[in-house]
Amino acid sequence: MPRKPRIQSPTDIYHFINRGVNKKKLFHHDRDYQYYLELLKEYSTRFSIQIHHYCLMNNHTHLLIKADGIGLVSRFGHFVQRRYAYYYCKTYRWSEQVFRKRFISIPIQEDAYLLECGRYIERNPLKAKLVQDPQDYPYSSYSFYSHQKEDLLITPNPLYETMGRNPLERTAAYKFYVGYTREQEKELAAPF
């Protein structure tokens, strides 16, 4: 059965998700995360992709990206995935598939969803109970927005500027926005 074509986003923004095959770990050590971040930087520059948010979990990745056309998203994803798979197989003497099929690219239909998607991405370590504060997770864009930490990978989310009149107001508002646990999130996190 042929692959379904990717859907072009009217905003040119996508929630880009990549997963390890059978939930396999993609990252075992800090150097793995760093190499993947280097690939993101290299190929986002090559294909003029803007990365607004990211979070690298141990068995999957999330990005919020902007690209001039779905073709650039496909090329970006292909090269990042292929190069990281080569690295992974060589480093860990792995001879099988690394990623689950091809990456997912969910079109963001409205600009209003930009911050909400970024929030979802950066709360992944909280949801997985890896940290109690997103600031403590080193492989995400959270510190760029919440603590003004330099991150050359990031092109600021256009809606971030609307969160305050100056950098201190914006970082305080962003920390609250991402850190506040909503009622529905409490229910989802509750043990059954």
Q: Is residue 86 part of a domain?
A: yes
Statement: the pTM of the whole predicted model exceeds 0.85: yes
Q: Specify the pLDDT at position 190.
A: 37
User: CATH number for the domain including 25?
Assistant: 3.30.70.1290
Q: Specify the pLDDT at position 143.
A: 97
Region 97-108 average pLDDT: 91
Tokens representing 167? 């950098």
Q: Is the pLDDT of residue 187 over 70?
A: no
Q: Is residue 191 part of a domain?
A: no
Domain count, the chain: 1
Q: Is the pLDDT of residue 186 over 80?
A: no
Q: Is residue 119 part of a domain?
A: yes
Q: Note the pLDDT tens digit of each residue in 120-154.
A: 999 999 999 999 999 999 999 999 999 999 999 99
What average pLDDT does the structure give for the chain?
Answer: 92
HSE-up (13 A, CA, CB side) for residue 63:
27
Alpha carbon separation from 160 to 1, 112, 120, 149, 171 (Å, rounded):
42, 11, 15, 15, 9
Domain span including residue 174: 13-181
Q: Is residue 87 part of a domain?
A: yes
